[in-house]
Structure 1
């Protein structure tokens, strides 16, 4: 940690009041195209033009290191993620395995080494490793996460490794998450990445089986606001279903949802489908074409509100079965398991 801070301080002092970071290297955009350095919230931090040899050169001043990315104006190319910190940051190359390889400063060098280690583990998982079981390889990976976070509790690289990797192993245990976050230095604890992990862990606890459901509202295709609570209550079993038309596994579930709805709707079964589609025309057409005759609302019609955060939904399809008493009694019922559960509770 001392070397990291010393290097950052030296770079800052050498800047003599001017730019204290530079970003150079080859970026895969046509010469003359604009390239932007963006914060995670898409705030533009710097901008430049791709040179004739497809290299870029940006410079500026940074006081607090953070994870940022390079992209074109429409964000349609592969982003180059990097840690913005004082020093000479170099984009080495684009690697299909883990994107742009960035180095030259302490945090970026650490990320490069971590990515290389992760690629080696991925290679083991794909090809197998003589004398090593799958469980042993995964245990090694988890040990890498822990060692890396332990060594970087005072910087944003450690926060990134925790949020992207280690958190996935403990997210269902809010107390473990809280204890781990407390090990970071106060300044890093306040970083949005760690706040996101804390919020996700709390949402996981709130949406666990046995917990009361959390109400929210979104709009349907006609623009009408419909609350989840408008479907719940005595005699009603409600499936809260997160899906999207572009999600193949979600669309594979539609026949099962239709069968369950047709079989059990008269007995009090309801579906509150929340689409994550951005193409609302496609969403509306799919509802009609597939005969999805239950309540359908769209996240995009929620005015910026994100219901997935309430239920810690990180992938779809995802669903939650809510009892007449307002409790979550099951999660992620797929295929015939949904019908089996409904047959059990709606005898």
Structure 2
């Protein structure tokens, strides 16, 4: 009988030890005494906005949150917009320990510990690359930068950057079954080609795919599939600099090759690339090639001034909605400059090229 009771007790203990927590408890601490009396917000992204889910005041350097989060998700601990102290983490039912300060973190669960290790390693890469940048600019400042030193610094920088990207890729591929991998993919999505993103998402599991940011990537990929190379271009209702309505179809698909330049007046790389695009325009404008600029500007005056000051000779269109522009929704443009080439019949010849690739493509098509 004693053996039966003993076995029963062991079974009960085993069951209780294996049960997952049914709620979360965040024990928080701040490293700056001036944060006492400030409000800490527990927030998450909803649509395009960061929404506060809960809040609590810091008292004697401490704060805590309690609640239930049945499905792990990405959340943020932060103060108001005037205090630039925050951290992202995975909220799940567990005992979590948070620190907010010059080095913020949340630990205590498997997913968060894994994510914090990833972030810490990334910081190492970042420090190494910043150190090389510092050496470079110091040598530029004191005129001691030789071609040999520049090449060695550049090669070292590229080597570290490759390891950095490999680290990101490995983490994502090792976490295709949970939200931590999804969080990292969303944060570093611009490091991947669209086909790579499609492949990663297709291999991932439900917990990964259900993260809001991943859903947004998947939706963007679905949209741009309809305007892939070989498909007919999609029209956009925009406006000319003088405010009158204008459509992409007013210029594209009219018997000429049409280069569509997605840009903005505030975009430094766009300005750097512009002279070469103007050279291409001047070389091919009498050979059946035209250019249409589609701006992601918000301010009409800045847009018009840039067109005039930069002496851009081709027609310009915009809806002045910035990253909410129709261009980003219809064509999935998530970085600029971005070039697209439309065939005379309105089909898309190529997308996402730089000026050098565009020139090669035109030479190929105009043989």
TM value normalised by structure 1: 0.72
Q: How many residues were matched structurally? A: 323
Aligned to 2:21: 10
Distance 1:294 1:239 in 2: 10
Query: Offset at 1:111?
Result: 0.6
Distance across 1 between alignment mates of 2:335 and 2:125: 23
Q: 1:67 corresponds to which residue?
A: 74
Query: Which residue number in structure 1 is paired with residue 239 of structure 2?
Result: 219
Cα deviation, residue 102, structure 1: 2.4
Deviation at 1:245, TM superposition (A): 2.2
Tell me which of 15, 37, 41 is aligned to 2:42.
37
Residue in structure 2 matched with residue 115 of structure 1 by the alignment? 119
Query: Is residue 27–residue 56 contact of structure 1 (8 Å, CA) maintained in 2?
Result: no
Contact residue 174 and residue 205 of structure 1 kept, 8 A: no
CA distance in 2, matches of 1:146, 1:106: 17
User: Could you tell me whether the CA contact under 8 Å between 1:32 and 1:49 is conserved in 2?
Assistant: yes
* 1:339 Cα deviation from its structure 2 partner: 5.4
Point out 4+ residue stretches in structure 1 off by more than 6 angstroms. 123-128, 134-137
Offset, 1:316:
1.5
Give the Cα separation in 1 of the matches to 2:314 and 2:36.
51
Q: Indicate how the Cα distance of structure 1 residues 103 and 322 shifts in structure 2: closer, same or farther if over 3 A, else same.
A: same
CA contact (8 A) 1:167 1:177 kept: no
Which protein has the bigger helix share? 2
Q: Which runs of 5+ in 2 are unaligned?
A: 1-16, 133-151
- 1:26 corresponds to which residue? 30
Q: Which moved more, 1:29-38 or 1:269-278?
A: 29-38
Distance 1:10 1:37, change over 3 A: closer
For the pair 1:176 / 2:211, whether they are aligned, the reply is no
Are the structure 2 counterparts of residues 261 and 205 from structure 1 closer, same or farther at C-alpha, using a change threshold of 3 Å?
same
CA contact (8 A) 1:232 1:324 kept: yes
Aligned to 1:256: 276
The structure with the larger Rg is: 2
Contact 2:238–2:247 (Cα < 8 Å) also in 1: yes
User: In 2, Cα distance between the equivalents of 1:337 and 1:267?
Assistant: 18
Which residue of structure 2 lines up, in the alignment, with residue 104 of structure 1? Answer: 108
Q: Retained in 1: the 8 A contact 2:27–2:65?
A: yes
Displacement of 1:112: 0.4
Contact kept? 1:46, 1:60, Cα under 8 Å: no
- Aligned 8 A contact 1:22 1:60 in 2: no
Matches within 5 A, 1:1-347: 9-12=20-23, 20-22=24-26, 24-26=28-30, 32-41=37-46, 42-49=50-57, 57-74=64-81, 77=84, 79-86=86-93, 87-91=95-99, 93-95=101-103, 100-120=104-124, 138=162, 142=166, 145-146=169-170, 149-150=173-174, 152-164=175-187, 169=192, 171-172=194-195, 176-177=199-200, 179-181=202-204, 184=205, 186-203=206-223, 205-265=225-285, 267-298=287-318, 300-301=320-321, 304-335=324-355, 338=358, 342=362, 345=365
- What is the distance in 2 between the residues matched to 1:23 and 1:289? 55
Deviations 1:187-216 (A, max 9, x none): 543332332332344456555544432332
Q: Does the residue aligned with 1:257 lie in a helix, a strand or coil?
A: helix
How far apart are residue 251 of structure 1 and its match?
0.8
246-255 or 165-174, larger mean C-alpha shift: 165-174
1:286-324 alpha-carbon deviations (Å, 9 max, x no partner):
123223243323354489454224434332211111111
Point out where structure 1 has 5 or more consecutive residues left out of the alignment. 1-5, 13-19
Do the aligned partners of residues 139 and 260 (structure 1) sit closer, same or farther apart at CA in structure 2, a change above 3 Å counting? Answer: closer
